[in-house]
Structure 1
């Protein structure tokens, strides 16, 4: 059982070594293609984040219920997330920023560009916007926070939302991740090259080993015929032609002379 596994591994290594050139070329092509798409095709994306705090102001008489109120505010964040991405808020945001460079182009795309997150049991939640322009991302995030803060008062008659920090332009692109893309292209190239190598090997029906004839097909081996290189054949033919020109002939005086000497005589 172990010997069969060893032979199998050796065969795999032999195929990879035999098709090494194919694997290297495929890896280079795929890696270069991944780099080209990353640097020249994919549009860089920039993020900007604003943070909002949910904290209702309580009167002195309600201080005893502060803990229960805090838990209620945390639970309200889920509702606030839905309000932020509602058409009522996004339409007003779109009217303000639709002429900015890198604007997503529609309210549905604007919704996809906005992500909202918060830590567990935290009254602070973040509104993050990702577009192809750093300043536009910051403008959309700040406008969204402003519109939401105004609309939540009208809809729920609460004043427990305040802006903790405004979004500022971040000119470091968050995507594409150039290094990661190139590494993925390199790995994909190696895998694809290996797959092509095995496909070429399996589709090659040329008999290259005598054991295949004797063991697999049960035939009797009568001998081996060595392959002669075509260049070697041409070289031998040229040597024969030169030998004919310089062949030695016997002169009338019994001496051995070259053909050229015989002509001069």
Structure 2
């Protein structure tokens, strides 16, 4: 026998197990929030902005433009230099003394991300760390060290720190709202899945159509009458009257 479920049946199943689904939804959200608050380490970020450009002595506007475009193309090279040990090793030593940093240069590399806008000579160095002040110190140290190293390596003197990194009090991760929303959705999905599983495993006969489908005959129906105090009094009175009639007959 092939079973099919229409939209009305789906709605009825969800309505029938609404408490179960709602309960698991709330539990999922609370569980996600609990894990986020008590088991995930908050991380903070700090960003320093650096401008690198070469001085053009020629008065030719075209030459100045070409130099600017060359500087933009060189930003990818600057990114590689910043994430190289020639910059990160001195930074690691400085931060180890200043902020008790115990990681390696590779750890620093994983904490650093570099970005820039299209056709812009300014690029941003962003550092993530479990300590907001240490994140700012690392970012500023990276910019200062890069400024020193690039002069010797590529003969570039015009390196300007556009904006120093500052410590931010608000953590960037984990995202409590996002994690709670994910827990909410997962809880709802689990609740719906359990509700449908209960219905699939329930083999009781729910209507007479099912009997016809499996080749059985309907011999009749027995209605269930809920026993209430009123019905108890009614049937009690009927029973007592019957007994009186019986006694009088004797």
TM-score scaled by length of structure 1: 0.79
Deviation of residue 160 (structure 1)?
Answer: 3.1
Deviation digits for residues 141-161 of structure 1 (CA, Å, limit 9, x no counterpart): 000111111112222222232
Aligned counterpart for 2:215 among listed residues 218, 225, 237: 218
- The 2-side partners of 1:108 and 1:25 are apart by 45
Partner residue, 1:128: 126
Q: Which runs of 5+ in 2 are unaligned?
A: none
* Higher relative contact order (CA closer than 8 Å, sequence separation 6+): 2
For residue 112 of structure 1, give the secondary structure of its aligned residue in structure 2. Answer: helix
Deviation digits for residues 197-254 of structure 1 (CA, Å, limit 9, x no counterpart): 112211222222222112x21211011234577x88xx97xx98xx99xx87x99xx9
Count of residue pairs brought into register by the alignment: 236
Partner residue, 2:190: 192
Q: 1:192 to 1:103 in 2, by over 3 A?
A: farther
- The 2-side partners of 1:212 and 1:227 are apart by 20
- The 2-side partners of 1:186 and 1:118 are apart by 36
TM-score scaled by length of structure 2: 0.83
Structure-to-structure mapping, 1:1-265, within 5 angstroms: 8-60=6-58, 65-98=63-96, 103=101, 105-214=103-212, 216-226=213-223
Q: 1:159 to 1:62 in 2, by over 3 A?
A: farther
Q: Which runs of 5+ in 1 are unaligned?
A: 255-265
